[in-house]
Amino acid sequence: MIIALYPGSFDPITNGHIDIATRASKLFDKIIIGIFSTPDKRLTFSHEERVELATRAVAHLPNIEVMPYDIITVDFARQVNAQVLVRGLRMSADYEREFEMAMLNRKLYPGLELVCFMASQEYQFLSSSLMKEVASLGGDIDSLVPKHVAEALRNKGVSKE
């Protein structure tokens, strides 16, 4: 059984994230969406909220599980017996960052392979940060996130709708 870990802060999960997870779920036996508890960034949602939003977003995909974690990603990958780390690439800047991380991760966990998915064209521009900015300015985010995520953003006061 090949287990793949798709780690991130997912603050919140977007349709771009779901697209990557869905495509990965067709290649690997099990996908674990790992939601990191304390990324080095200002968060809109708590760790528990991010886990709940992601869990609801992928509930229709039977081989995907959402799990929280609060340790270094490669140690979490070992803990869940992941052989593959899944990442999405939107632009060349993503590639450069992922390349650096991949080299470090290979040193820390030589058995962990990196598989990068190119963002689908409709999501190449999408990031959680940009989506939250659009929402805060009253923009329409309904095509960018699942309905329950848009509602959660409105409840947080991020959206002016």
Residue 24: count of CB within 10 angstroms of its CB: 23
Q: Are 41 and 77 spatial neighbours (Cβ–Cβ below 8 Å)?
A: no
Residues marked active site are found at 17, 41, 90, 128
